[in-house]
Each structure stands twice: as C-alpha cells, then as structure tokens.
Structure 1
C-alpha cells in the first residue's frame, strides 16, 4: 500500500461523507428517517466503488481499514476516564449495566441459536455463519472486521463480508425499526420527554446544529505553541494502537495457532496506559470529550469503509439465509426491549430501552440518535449511566470477540452459546434476589 493509495482512499471517503451530510441536510425523506451521513456515504461508496460501477478509484485495501479503526475506538474507551465514586452511582448504573449485559449475552449467541435450531437445517452453512449476526448488529462494521480477521486465518474469508452486511442491515433496522417503535410508544404515552413525534428540533432532522445550541467539542489541555491539543490526544490513542499492533505481531509469531484481535489488545493496552496516566497525574491533561471525538471519527469511517467494501457476490450467495437471520435478529432485539427493559429500569424505561435497541442493532451512535429523538433536551441519565455501565460490560464483549470465533472453529459453538445464555439466567436470578428488578405492579401499570 502506497501513500498515494492512503491519500486517495481518505480523500474519497471525506468527499462521500460531505455529500452524505449535504443529502441529510437537504432531502426531507432522509431527514424523516434520520439516516446518518456515514450510512449514506457508505452506500454511495458501495454503488460507485470497486464493488459497484467501479467509478471511484479506491485501493484494494478498503476492507482493511475497519480492523485498524476499531482498535482506535476500543483504545479510546478507557483513556481519560474519570475516577468514579461507585458508592454514589451504583444504585442507578447497576441497572444499565444489567441491561447492557443482557443485550451482550443474548444478542451475540442469537445468530448461533437460530442457525443451530433451524437455518442450518435448511441451508448448508459454515459453522461461524450465525456469529455474524452478533458481530454485525451488536459490534458493528469494525467488530465484523475483527471477527472476520480470526475466521479468515482459518480459511473462511467470506465471514467479513457477511458481517459487514449484517452491520449495514443493522443500521437500517436501528433507524426504521427504532422510528416505528418510537411512534408507537409515543402514541401510547410511554415516553417521558416528548408527547408528539413531530415536535422535534430541526437539528435532529437536518443534522446541522444552530449557533445558539452548539457545544464545545473539548477543552485544550496543552498549549498550542507546544503541540496542537487535538493532535496530542490523537497521539495518545495512536501510541496505544501501535503498541497493540506490535504486541499482536509478537503473539502471532509465538502462538501461530491462535488469533489475537487488535481491538482486544488495544483495549487492554488502553487500560494499562490509563493506569499509568492516573498514577503519574498526567491524566489531568487528557480531555475525555476530545478522546471521544477521535473515537467517534473512527466510528464514522468504519461505517463508510465497511459498507463500501462489501462484496455483493458473496452476499448474493447467502442471500436467503441472511434475510432469515436478519429478520430473526431484529425481532430478537425488539423482544429484549419489550420484555427486559420494562423490567430492569425503574425510571425512563423506554428512553433507556430504545437506546439499547439502537446500539444492539446498529451502533452506539444510532442508540444516541434514537435517544435524542425521545429525549431531545437530554433530561434522562441514559448516556451517563451507559458510559459507566459500559466499563463493566466491555471486558465481557472483548472476551466474546476474542474467544468466540476460536471456540466456534474448534467445534464448541453449542457449549459457547449455552454458556452465555446460562450466565444471563444466573445474572437475572441474582438481580431478582437482590431486588434490582421492577415490581410486577409497576410493570402492569406501564403496559
């Protein structure tokens, strides 16, 4: 790969994203569906790129970017995290953690369950086929790339394209399904902060924020006459990713029979880096909002590159079982919202639940988009609770991404699936015994 390839790829993606932003700002139908610019840009890249009409001169490496970019996202998670007084926050955060764990432990094995029980009996499918649902829906394009990296090392390259397709369909399901659910529950008076779906601020529809509503993207923590504050934060994440990359190379060289996802190592190295930053008091100069902006940029690029690099020939080969798998996945995600969220959250259950639906089918960004529709003034504590609860959930997700493919390849897909479901059952029983769940009377009142 040459510097020219990198320049052209990033330049074309930037152009497509700008076109996506313009389309979102001007086309009313797109505004009504709240389709993000990254999704629009990805579809344009798929249509006019090498897997479509071939008009855009992308390099042959467009499918490799998400693997690196998802490492950026996971490296950013622990960096700059504030020290938490868990005694004050636990009573509220525990239920968001419980819901996040529910989505993780139920959505990841869902595709394997569906394939094992009925899809696999109709079509002859590879053993990791159902795992693409969790990778695409819960994980997104970057996680699909990471999971595909492991399966590809074992000779099944198609899983990456299937995972990208699942992530793309998941984004669409998050948008369309989320809007249908919101409209229905708004009519049933189950939303706390909006009474009419039409009474939404214009910035939610156009994607452009008015001057009086704008917020700071972050704080300068170092002087610009020394180094630009934005680059300072990019450099911290870049250092974590490059250390993770060399660690991955070393591990692969010493243990060639195993695969070590870069995102998993980036999260671990990020935790270690944050520990030393805090010990040395250097974390005072790390602005979490700026770190999140860098991770958010990587997420947008992941979506664009992921959709653009989908091989339509591979997708068409598995078209019918994929449709069945995706329909099952959307229904499964809705059932989690409908039956679990109402029982887990003591306040703002629908706002918390629709956020979970968004990120369990699309991405966290889509969860935020759906949340902003039902909570436009950010009166709920959903995002704060999720940010804290995610700290306790992400190690489980990293473990699933790291070891799940290995277990499936080794023929242990059923025990793997069963263990995740069993952990969830034990967790719910524990939560019930501890009095974390909502009472039956309150559930009936909500329904």
Structure 2
C-alpha cells in the first residue's frame, strides 16, 4: 500500500476553497457561453472557458491567483481522472463480439490505426529532429495520443506519470495540445462536412450541428441524470455509486502497487478502470447489481470531468509551452494534416456505406475526444438516419478502454522511456501496416471503386 499522509483541517479547508473557486470558474464559463453565441456555435465547453479565465488570472498572466492555489488545482487533475475512469466498465453491458463485429470493426480499425499513427509520426520526428535540434524531451512524442483523442482529461491525468518519468512539463504541453486539437477538430470537421454537402455525399446534413439558440434545453429534451432503486433509509443512491467507484479505486491502487514492482510510471487511472471491471464482474453475480444505474455513474463521471478540465487548464504552465513552441507547432501541423489524410483516404476504404458520416465521428474523436465526434456526426446526420452512431457506440468497449486515452495510451510514455522513440515509432508504424493487412484479409478494407460497384449491385437487386 502507498504511504498515507495525514491531512489536517487547515489543508482540507484550503482544498474546499480551491474546489469552490473552480465551481465559480465553471459558472463563469456557463455565463459566457450564454452571452457569446460563437462559443456555443463552435461547441467550446464551459469547463474549457472557465479554465482559460483561471489561466488568465493565474501566476503566469495577471497574477491574481497565487502559486499555492495554482499548485492545488494542478494536483487535483490526477485525482479526478481516476474518478472519471474507474466506473468506465462498471455497469456496462458489453456486447458479444460476434454480434457487434460487423458494425463495430471499421470503427475499431479507425481508432487503433489513428492512435498508432499519432504515436509513430511524432516519435520519429522527435528522434530525428526535435531532440537533436531543439533538445526536446523524448517523451514529447507521446503527448498527441494522450491529448488529441484522450482530451484535456487524459492530458491532465498523465501529470503523475510524466513526473514519475522525470518530465513534469508533459501534462502542460498535453493540455496545450488538447486545446489546439479541440479547436482544429471542430473547425476542420465543419469545413469537411460542408465540402461533403456540396459534393452530394451527405443527404441528411444540417451543417450546424443541430445547435440551439440557448444552452437551456426545452422541457421535452430534459435529461434524467439518475435513477435510484436503493431505499434512502439504507443509503442514498449517489453515495452507493460513489462507494462502488471507491472500491474500484482501491483495487486499482492495489494493482498499481503490484505493477510498480515490475515497471514504474504506469498511472493509476487505467488500473482503476480495471478495478471497476472487477467490481462489475463481482456485483453482477449478486442481487445488488439491479441497484447499479449507469446514468448515475455517468453523472458522477461528468462532474469529475468538468472540474478536472477547468482545474487542468487553469493551472497550465505557459512558460513550458513557450519553451517547446517549435516542436509543438511543427507536430500540431503534421498531426492535423495526418488526421485529415486518415479521414479522406482510409474512410472510403473501410466503411461500406455512408463513409463520410462514419468517418467524421471518428475524425472528431481523434482530434478532440468523443464529444467532438458526436457533435460533428450530429451536423452530418442530425436525425441519425445512418448506422454511424450505432457502429461508433459499439466500438467503445473494444477501443475506449485501451486507445484514445485508455490503458495503451497510458503505457506509451513508459514504452518511450524504456525503448526510445526510434523503436516505438517503428513499432507503431509496423502495427499500422499490420492493421491494414488484417483489414484487407478480413474484407474490411476495399477500394472506393469496388465499394461503389457493390452498392450499385445492391441497388439493382432491390
């Protein structure tokens, strides 16, 4: 077990104030989204807006927020990401592989191919150019898989892992990269959707993401965030689900203790996710499983993620970004071009029908996490008339726990630290080639001309 440090009431009081101020930043983000329509139009979340306000008030800008508070916010991110990941597989009805493979396989291929590519290219660039020319830390190559598909949450949560590997600046660079990826994903995605509309590739597109003129949903669209079946005389529903997450975190902590004996630098959050799976497997065999409500778990995850993003962005280190601006700028341009290339070249070859809708949701997830992918899909297919949403959802159990912010993502920095960028870059490039060969062998990969011919035959038969 890890060494436990006693926390006195004064420290807990400081933590309460720090978290309360994060809540105020979130409220300011909501208010600015309501007052400034472009923030809604470009789907900038309130947590990111609040984080930017906190950053401007911080010690690297106006200096209103003291260093002590900034340090507390920075430390919160690594804790909250564990809460985000612990319930990911808890209460999840995992689909049978045979039932899901037909629709999910192309989406799973896209997820793994893009993740390995987003590691391979920066790793080789870092080995060949950035480290010898700019003196960039070798672990720099891993921030793009962590921050683009992983998003602000994963980038912030990797602070402990990067620090353990001797590169405390990694999380701040990841957060800067995540912000760039979010903006690029939304803007470039909307541009590509409009191009597809002009070319007649989309028949159901709205082009605006189905945006509302206000963030306040009508009563008919109100969400039910939680459903409790446990008698409150026993325990409150939220407390029950927090207890499940706590058990998952404790199991993950035990797993980390064992893993650290073999290899150091593996963060807690993917191990807590495994802990959640173990809790799921145990409780599913008991009558208590009927008390598990996935919506409640998702609500807890959402709270942790919003506070994580605002804390992480507010405590971002601007000097670190400026010290690494050359490598960061070059890599961002290269990864952006690569993401558009994957969308344009691979999409038509792996999706049998509606390739733009199916590809755009994966493009969004690759550049700015799953929520951006769904925003773009809503713009391309507002009424979900294609199978893109179902296929993307079915891919989640096979991809989300591993790549794009999962277990494999967390292991990339460890791999670079142990084997170096050259071998990691070559290895990931080889994996991309093997994935293409596997897709061709299994029939997932076909030329666009062959896809068109098959669709014409199917239309004639009908």
2-side partners of 1:271 and 1:259: how far apart?
22
Contact 2:146 2:410 in 1 (8 A): no
Q: Structure 2 vs 1, CA of residues 436 and 33 (structure 1 numbering), >3 Å: closer, same or farther?
A: same
2-side partners of 1:380 and 1:222: how far apart?
38
What residue ranges of structure 2 are gaps of 5+ in the alignment?
1-6, 456-462
Match of 1:406 among 411, 414, 433: 414
In structure 1, the residue matched to 2:123 is 112
Match of 2:439 among 428, 431, 442: 431
What's the offset of the Cα at 1:81? 0.7
Q: Structure 2 vs 1, CA of residues 313 and 369 (structure 1 numbering), >3 Å: closer, same or farther?
A: same
State the 4+ residue runs in structure 1 displaced beyond 6 angstroms.
Answer: none
In structure 2, the residue matched to 1:334 is 340
What's the offset of the Cα at 1:214? 2.2
2-side partners of 1:151 and 1:190: how far apart?
43
Q: Which moved more, 1:86-95 or 1:145-154?
A: 145-154
Verify: 1:235 aligned to 2:246, yes or no: no
Verify: 1:322 aligned to 2:328, yes or no: yes
In structure 2, the residue matched to 1:73 is 84
Q: Structure 2 vs 1, CA of residues 236 and 407 (structure 1 numbering), >3 Å: closer, same or farther?
A: same
2-side partners of 1:436 and 1:246: how far apart?
40
What residue ranges of structure 1 are gaps of 5+ in the alignment?
none
In structure 2, the residue matched to 1:7 is 16
Task: Map 1:10-409; keep pairs closer than 5 Å.
Answer: 10-56=19-65, 58-194=69-205, 196-197=206-207, 201-203=210-212, 206-249=214-257, 252=260, 254=261, 258-394=264-400, 396-397=402-403, 398-409=406-417
Contact 1:150 1:259 in 2 (8 A): yes
What's the offset of the Cα at 1:155? 2.4
- Tell me the C-alpha RMSD between the 2 structures: 2.5
SS, match of residue 190 in structure 1: coil
Q: Structure 2 vs 1, CA of residues 319 and 439 (structure 1 numbering), >3 Å: closer, same or farther?
A: closer
For residues 80-107 of structure 1, the C-alpha deviation after alignment (integer angstroms, 9 at most, x for no partner) is 1114244333211222212222222222
SS, match of residue 422 in structure 2: helix
Contact 2:190 2:207 in 1 (8 A): no
Q: Structure 2 vs 1, CA of residues 10 and 186 (structure 1 numbering), >3 Å: closer, same or farther?
A: farther
2-side partners of 1:339 and 1:75: how far apart?
36
What's the offset of the Cα at 1:251? 5.0
Q: Structure 2 vs 1, CA of residues 85 and 404 (structure 1 numbering), >3 Å: closer, same or farther?
A: closer
2-side partners of 1:192 and 1:268: how far apart?
42
Q: Structure 2 vs 1, CA of residues 50 and 443 (structure 1 numbering), >3 Å: closer, same or farther?
A: farther
1-side partners of 2:259 and 2:96: how far apart?
36
Q: Structure 2 vs 1, CA of residues 208 and 331 (structure 1 numbering), >3 Å: closer, same or farther?
A: farther
What's the offset of the Cα at 1:173? 1.6
Aligned residues: 441
For residues 110-131 of structure 1, the C-alpha deviation after alignment (integer angstroms, 9 at most, x for no partner) is 3213323444454221111121
Q: Normalising by structure 1, what TM-score?
A: 0.90
What's the offset of the Cα at 1:286? 1.3
What's the offset of the Cα at 1:143? 2.4
What's the offset of the Cα at 1:276? 0.7
What's the offset of the Cα at 1:279? 2.1
Contact 2:91 2:294 in 1 (8 A): yes
For residues 334-385 of structure 1, the C-alpha deviation after alignment (integer angstroms, 9 at most, x for no partner) is 1111111222122332222222122211222222222222233344444443
Contact 1:13 1:304 in 2 (8 A): yes
Contact 2:83 2:304 in 1 (8 A): yes
What's the offset of the Cα at 1:438? 4.2
2-side partners of 1:379 and 1:221: how far apart?
34
Q: Normalising by structure 2, what TM-score?
A: 0.87
Q: Structure 2 vs 1, CA of residues 228 and 384 (structure 1 numbering), >3 Å: closer, same or farther?
A: farther
